[in-house]
A and B are shown apart, each in its own frame.
Chain A
Amino acid sequence: MATGSLATKVRRQNTIAVIDMSGEINALAEESLNGAYTEATEANPSAVLLNFAEVGYINSTGIALIVGVLMKARESATSIAACGLSDHFAEIFRITRLSDYMPIYPNEDTATQSFASGQ
């Protein structure tokens, strides 16, 4: 999907659904992000991995959208994690405590290894 400021692509990595995002997560990204999450969870993946590697900007509205996605994941008891965040946005995830509910991995490989070993 590529509406608004954020382009998303959903792909399967074994039992994990990876959402690759590129662009900006702001008010315009709502449809794109929520659509991708719905698509990613259709086939009941073991976990959803949000890949922020190509995301250059997240603002406070974007944080609210990610909180929304986290809420949905918790309602359906789906594991969710993040990877590819820059140091700055990883810090923001820490300050907002998003990282308490959404483990942060440096990249996709470390995330999938962790899923494979831990769950």
Chain B
Amino acid sequence: MWQALVGSNGRSDAPVDTIEDIVSQHSVVEAVDIAPNDPIVGYFQTVNNVVEIDKLTLDSPAVQALREAGVKIAVPLLSQGELIGLLNLGPRLSEQEYSTDDRRLLSNLATQAAPAVRVAQLARQQQSEAQARERIEQELRVASVIQQTLLPQSVPEIEDWEMRAFYKPAREVGGDFYDFLELAGGKLGVVVGDVTDKGVPAALVMATTRGILRAASERSESPGAVLRKVNDMLYPDIPAKMFVTCLYAIVDTTTGKIHYANAGHDLPYRRTETGIDELRATGMPLGLMPGMEYEEREVTLAPGESVLLYSDGLVEAHNETREMYGFPRLKGLVATHEGGASLIDALLSDLTKFTGPDLEQEDDVTLVTIRRTVSKSEANPMPTLDAKTEFKSLDEFLVQSQPGNERQAMERVADAVKNLDLPTARLEKLKTAVAEGTMNAMEHGNKYDADTPVSIVVAASEAAVSVKIIDSGGVEEADKSSDAETPDLVAKLAGLQSPRGWGLFLIKEMVDEFKTTSDDKHHNIELIMNLGGGEDGNR
């Protein structure tokens, strides 16, 4: 019988145990460490045969160690040219030299043992990797559960208000967060935030930010002051290159006033009767620079109006052709849904439709909607309002401000009113008025900026059709267009007027009533076409 002694080549996946397991449980004498850069490693890889240790002349610490351990001969175990272990033998118990037969037997044994040892090594390596993975996954599951507890477990139930939230991290844990805070005086704090980066680092910063924000919100009624405080506390502790965008709004649920400040977060959308606007306020993201100031703004939400807060995971989602979901799509859905659960459902199903069901979610997605509902007393209209004068919405949509898109607006309005039995001639007039109104809105109000859509609302009572066309031009642009001189063909032919300038004239000639209103952000025209009457009603 041989004495087996097993050496290590010093690697982390050391074959020493493996060889013990596989080759011999008998009389392991001592393990010998062989450094990976020892010259013997290269030597063993080239000989691929039984080696007599005493005859080696290599200047090698390993050879010295093997001799001291009493090793007489060593047989390298090679797998695909790589040394994965050694069979080391001391002197024969008979004290005779190893015979040629012995050597042949050892050499054969090494050839057959090497692949088996390699397989065993790989199996063990895989097993330990799987264990490590399982441990990480388990930790992430726990982290995910902990993070869920940091998000509101339910949305606040407040009379005349509908609050809804949706949160889905791209991985087990994420850097997005939202929060509802009960504040003094029946006010409600609403927070949406987004930490740069994803996964565990982002989740840790998210937890810290949420805690600081909660504490700061209790001490101040000013959203700007709260963000300033959070920024100053977060700045010294946040890792370099990480920061947090955050929108903080304080909602007075009695008056509908929303007081808000923004630390570099995507602008919320407000949906009002006249269209969609963005709640702007300037401020740097949290954790970038100390001593920042945050602008505060205030808007009032009327009954029926809503606000959407969201994170960039929605607008920056890509489809298979790397096209981005983008703001116009989001804005379009905000325009066509009254807010609350229906808006969130619509956004999520549209997002899935856009990215395809199988595409991996790129970034965390967070949505929070706040809607002031029409209270019961307001929902029942005054008895003096009868069906003849009450307008019901037929369609609401957005048109991207690009030359030629007035045709879309025209056809969609025509489709919306198709059941109203407008005589053909009057329908054609309405279509021309809508096309001209949309062209004006895209060109003068929105300067053909593709990201600033024109909002169109079609409504009808029993007596009339109303088409509202809203752009983002505001009072100034509206003044310019209303100052336009009435076109006079005689003057044009005489070169006294430009050949152009027919748009507004045509609109006024085409419809029964034409109204305009403007505020500092929007210009709104309303076209009214009476039903069933008119001089050309019978054509």
Residues of A at under 8 Å CB distance from B?
A: 5, 26-28, 57, 59-61, 63-65, 67-68, 70-71, 74, 86-88, 91-92, 95-98, 100-101
28 pairs of residues in contact across A and B, judged by CB atoms under 8 Å = A27-B403, A57-B407, A57-B435, A59-B432, A59-B436, A60-B500, A60-B501, A63-B502, A64-B500, A64-B502, A65-B499, A67-B493, A67-B499, A68-B499, A70-B493, A71-B492, A71-B493, A71-B499, A88-B425, A88-B428, A92-B432, A92-B506, A95-B509, A96-B487, A97-B489, A97-B490, A98-B489, A101-B493
CB distance from A43 to the nearest CB of B (A): 25
When distances are taken between beta carbons in the complex, the residues of chain A under 8 Å from B495 are 71
Interface of B: prevailing SS: helix
- Inter-chain pairs besides A27-B403, A28-B404, A59-B435, 5 sampled, C-beta below 8 Å: A57-B407, A60-B500, A60-B503, A67-B499, A96-B506
Instruction: For chain B, residues 489 to 539, give those with C-beta under 8 angstroms from any C-beta of chain A.
Output: 489-490, 492-493, 495, 498-503, 505-506, 509, 539
The interface size bin for chain B is: 20 to 34
CB distance from A80 to the nearest CB of B (A): 12
Complex alpha-carbon distance, A98 and B505, angstroms: 14
The reply on B258 being an interface residue by CB < 8 A is no
The reply on B75 being an interface residue by CB < 8 A is no
The list of the 10 closest CB pairs from A to B, nearest first, reads A88-B428, A60-B502, A67-B499, A60-B503, A64-B500, A64-B499, A97-B489, A63-B502, A95-B509, A68-B499
**Contact of A59 with B539 at beta-carbon distance under 8 Å, contacts A67-B493, A92-B432, A97-B489 already known:** no
When distances are taken between beta carbons in the complex, the residues of chain A under 8 Å from B501 are 60, 64
What's the A-B contact tally at a CB cutoff of 8 Å?
65
When distances are taken between beta carbons in the complex, the residues of chain A under 8 Å from B436 are 59-60
**Contact of A87 with B539 at beta-carbon distance under 8 Å, contacts A64-B500, A92-B506 already known:** yes
Complex alpha-carbon distance, A26 and B501, angstroms: 13
**Contact of A67 with B403 at beta-carbon distance under 8 Å, contacts A87-B425, A88-B425 already known:** no
Residues of B at under 8 Å CB distance from A?
A: 403-404, 406-407, 425, 428-429, 432, 435-436, 439, 487, 489-490, 492-493, 495, 498-503, 505-506, 509, 539
CB distance from B475 to the nearest CB of A (A): 23
Instruction: Please tell me if the beta carbons of B425 and A67 are within 8 angstroms of each other in the complex.
Output: no
CB distance from B435 to the nearest CB of A (A): 6
CB distance from A5 to the nearest CB of B (A): 8
**Contact of A88 with B432 at beta-carbon distance under 8 Å, contacts A60-B439, A96-B487 already known:** yes
When distances are taken between beta carbons in the complex, the residues of chain B under 8 Å from A92 are 432, 506
When distances are taken between beta carbons in the complex, the residues of chain A under 8 Å from B432 are 59, 88, 92
CB distance from A6 to the nearest CB of B (A): 13
Instruction: Please tell me if the beta carbons of A101 and B489 are within 8 angstroms of each other in the complex.
Output: yes
A59's nearest neighbour on chain B, judged by CB, is: B435
- A57, A63, A95, A101: residue with the most chain B Cβ atoms closer than 10 Å: A63
Complex alpha-carbon distance, A98 and B487, angstroms: 12
Instruction: Please tell me if the beta carbons of A67 and B492 are within 8 angstroms of each other in the complex.
Output: yes
Complex alpha-carbon distance, A63 and B432, angstroms: 12
When distances are taken between beta carbons in the complex, the residues of chain A under 8 Å from B498 are 64
Instruction: Please tell me if the beta carbons of A74 and B425 are within 8 angstroms of each other in the complex.
Output: no
When distances are taken between beta carbons in the complex, the residues of chain B under 8 Å from A67 are 489, 492-493, 499
When distances are taken between beta carbons in the complex, the residues of chain B under 8 Å from A70 are 493
B440's nearest neighbour on chain A, judged by CB, is: A60
Complex alpha-carbon distance, A71 and B501, angstroms: 16
CB distance from B437 to the nearest CB of A (A): 11
When distances are taken between beta carbons in the complex, the residues of chain A under 8 Å from B505 are 96
**Contact of A74 with B493 at beta-carbon distance under 8 Å, contacts A57-B407, A95-B509 already known:** yes
